[in-house]
Chain A
Amino acid sequence: MKSSIRIGSGAAWWGDRVEPAALNAEKGDLDYLCFETMAEATVSAAQVRARRDPSFPGYDTYLDDRMRAVLPACMKRGTKIITNQGWINPDAAAKRVVHWLNEFGFKGVKVASVNGSLITEHVLDLTDTILENGKPTSTLKSTLISAEAYLGAEPIVEALKAGAQIVITGRVADPSLFLAPMMYEFGWDPLDHAKLGQGNGIGHLMECGAQVTGGYFSDPGFKDVPQPWNFGFPIAEVTPDGTVVLTKVAGTGGAITARTVKEQMLYEVHDPANYLTPDVVVDFTTAKIEELGPDRVRVSNIGGKPRTPTFKVSMGCTEGFIGEDMFFYAGPGALRRAQLAKKVLEERFKIVKLEAEDIRIDYLGLNAIHGDATPAWAPEPYEVAVRVAARTKTREEAAKVGREVDGMAVSGIAHTGKRVPHQDRTREVIGVWSGLVDRTKVIPSVRYFES
Chain B
Amino acid sequence: MKVKLQHVAHARSGDKGDTSNISVFAYAPEFYPLLKEQLTAERFKAYYAGAIKGLVTRYDVDNIEAMNFVCQGALGGGVSRSLCLDNYGKALSAAILGFEIDVPESLKSKLHGQQALG
A contact residues vs B (CB 8 Å cutoff): 39-41, 132, 216-217, 219, 221-223, 259, 262-273, 284-289, 319, 322, 324, 358-360, 362, 364, 368-375, 387, 389-391, 429-432, 434
Judge whether B62 is part of the interface by a CB distance below 8 angstroms: yes
Q: Give CA–CA (A5, B91) in the complex, Å.
A: 35
Instruction: Name the A residues within 8 Å of B30 (CB-CB).
Output: none
Query: Smallest Cβ distance from B92 to chain A, in angstroms?
Result: 7
Instruction: Name the B residues within 8 Å of A219 (CB-CB).
Output: 6, 10
Q: Give CA–CA (A369, B18) in the complex, Å.
A: 16
- Chain B residues 100 to 118 lying within 8 A of chain A, measured CB to CB, are 112-113, 115-116
Is A368 a contact partner of B91 (Cβ separation < 8 A)? no
Is A431 a contact partner of B78 (Cβ separation < 8 A)? yes
Is B83 a contact partner of A369 (Cβ separation < 8 A)? no
Is B15 a contact partner of A262 (Cβ separation < 8 A)? no
Is B92 a contact partner of A370 (Cβ separation < 8 A)? yes
Query: Smallest Cβ distance from A436 to chain B, in angstroms?
Result: 14
**Chain A residue at minimum C-beta to C-beta distance from B85:** A368
Partner of B6, one of A222, A368, A431: A222
Size category, B interface: 35 or more
Please give 10 more A-B residue pairs, beta carbons under 8 A apart, in addition to A373-B48, A374-B95: A221-B113, A223-B10, A262-B25, A263-B25, A266-B61, A268-B15, A271-B59, A272-B59, A284-B63, A372-B51
- Pairs across A and B, CB under 8 Å, 30 listed: A40-B16, A40-B17, A132-B18, A219-B6, A219-B10, A222-B112, A223-B10, A223-B112, A259-B10, A262-B64, A266-B12, A266-B21, A266-B23, A266-B68, A267-B12, A267-B21, A268-B14, A270-B59, A270-B70, A272-B59, A284-B61, A284-B64, A285-B63, A369-B86, A370-B91, A371-B84, A372-B51, A375-B95, A387-B85, A432-B17
Instruction: Name the B residues within 8 Å of A289 (CB-CB).
Output: 64
Is A221 a contact partner of B115 (Cβ separation < 8 A)? yes
Q: Give CA–CA (A127, B61) in the complex, Å.
A: 33
Q: Which label, helix, strand, loop or mixed, suits the secondary structure of the A interface?
A: mixed
Is B112 a contact partner of A272 (Cβ separation < 8 A)? no
Instruction: Name the A residues within 8 Å of B113 (CB-CB).
Output: 221-222
Is B63 a contact partner of A370 (Cβ separation < 8 A)? no
- Chain B residues 61 to 105 lying within 8 A of chain A, measured CB to CB, are 61-64, 66, 68, 70, 77-81, 83-86, 90-92, 94-95, 98
Q: Give CA–CA (A369, B112) in the complex, Å.
A: 25
Judge whether B49 is part of the interface by a CB distance below 8 angstroms: yes
